[in-house]
Chain A
């Protein structure tokens, strides 16, 4: 097994002096290739903060993040964005699709950044739409899609660049439970098919039941790290 994500003594604080909140204190963990891991914990426990630090969207006060062995603190802004482009896919709680672009343009955009030529892009977009079960809806804008469909577009976008790691922050929180479970099952299948490493956060019991591994966060501290081979 190869370690794709490693955090060492991550500390992240917000605010100053009296009002200072320690969102993460000394989080050290590693995640292996192909794992399907859930970060769980009540609201405010530091799940979003941890995922953002792992993806390099935020900077820790101290401690380090290693992705495939490289310390991201040593990367320049451009190297980091190139790394994100080629190796990480993000899925957000509130979908965050670009409203003026159609579903397929949203998926295509990242491949445009990667410099993939048009023909390959178009085939890959169709592939991705099929993979998330949205064949024929590619021309629609985000506003013309349901929440579940938008999140599927977001999953397709995250996976379009063939990343090694998918980071998903409460991907099902805005969806009703049936849609949420369907989305998660889809992610699970993709994980099995493609050997991509999935790390997602949730505080929903039914969702976390589908993970191989549960990292319990509470007040910024890892309480328990459960491997559950069902």
Chain B
């Protein structure tokens, strides 16, 4: 049972972590020009985003996609300054990939429209808001350099605060895509497309497929984008599987020992059964059925006890007091993963184990001479 539980937690916690950062920002797959993913430069833009858009829109395994532009800037609020990271996002399309709507912690999610005074909206990260002492409704001034080498500067009105001080975008300034493109003088071009796959487990395969459709660009699954994190996760999983294999082995030995002991203890009883005419094969059957029944009962009881816990973990999870930073991803809720695999794999394994384990003592009881069996206590 512990086994079902830990499998659930292991699969669950990692799939959660992956969800957290893919749905926070990365998406399942990203499309870039050249090596933008490794060495971002403002001029490495995707020149014909319309082609990419059509490709993504028409692919049935792509459930959401969003274009983005990036740059860094200096931000002024009142008499304070800070460096900031500009995220140009499409207000309509970004929520189809990330959970940005849920990350609005104050104010309102923006649109691409300027306000009555002609100022465009911006949403800023909590970290930036704190250090510049800015709030919803305040003005923020951004200074950056455009792709053509010109100096870019403009005033924006803050409509929302995004995330918290530990989010990756705590120093971010979100601008509507078209506004960001103009600010940075990159025309209609973008730096990145992020997209979601219909089945998150098939994203690597989908990436290969999309790559062949767009040979002039670079299509990367999140496993490549977040290579360091991915390696950490893989080795952690392996370590955990090893631990579990060890636990299973110990359990196996324990069960074997229990079954063997109970059969040994009852040697005399089996001797009696044999002397009143129980066939050897009937003894094997008897021991087999008893063991499997015992295993079934204990599995059912165990499952009945653990299932609510797993369900609760899957649905609610434990809100950790301290958020754990795993490979750059903030992990503050521990959740389980409930699937047939997680529940039935260990159960089936236990039953099979019990069935197998019952055989050697069963055969031993079947072969022993009744005189020897009767003589033991």
Contact = CB atoms under 8 A, between A and B. Distances in A.
Given A81-B279, A84-B277, A58 B272 contact: no
A198 interface: no
Nearest to A12: B371
Given A82-B279, A84-B275, A90-B275, A96 B268 contact: yes
A57 interface: yes
A81 B269 contact: no
Contacts of A113: 276-279, 282
Contacts of B278: 81, 85, 113
User: Which size bracket describes the interface of B in this complex?
Assistant: 10 to 19
Contacts of A99: 269
Contact of B277 (A85, A96, A98): A85
B274 A96 contact: no
B369 A110 contact: no
B374 A92 contact: yes
A84 B276 contact: yes
Chain A interface residue number, banded: 20 to 34
B282 A57 contact: no
Interface string B358-377: 00000000000111001000
Nearest to B275: A90
B281 interface: yes
A44 interface: no
Contacts of B268: 96
A158 B276 CA distance: 8
B280 interface: yes
A97 B273 CA distance: 10
Given A96-B268, A98-B272, A110 B277 contact: yes
A82 B269 CA distance: 18
Contacts of A161: 276-277
Given A78-B281, A98-B269, A55 B275 contact: yes
B374 A57 contact: yes
Nearest to A83: B277
A85 B276 contact: yes
Given A113-B278, A113-B282, A161-B277, 18 more contacts: A52-B370, A52-B371, A57-B374, A58-B371, A77-B279, A77-B280, A78-B279, A78-B280, A81-B277, A81-B279, A81-B280, A82-B277, A85-B276, A85-B277, A89-B276, A98-B272, A113-B276, A113-B279
Interface of B: 268-269, 272-282, 369-371, 374
18 contacts: A52-B371, A57-B370, A58-B369, A58-B370, A78-B279, A78-B280, A81-B278, A83-B277, A84-B275, A85-B277, A88-B277, A92-B272, A92-B374, A98-B269, A98-B272, A109-B276, A113-B276, A157-B276
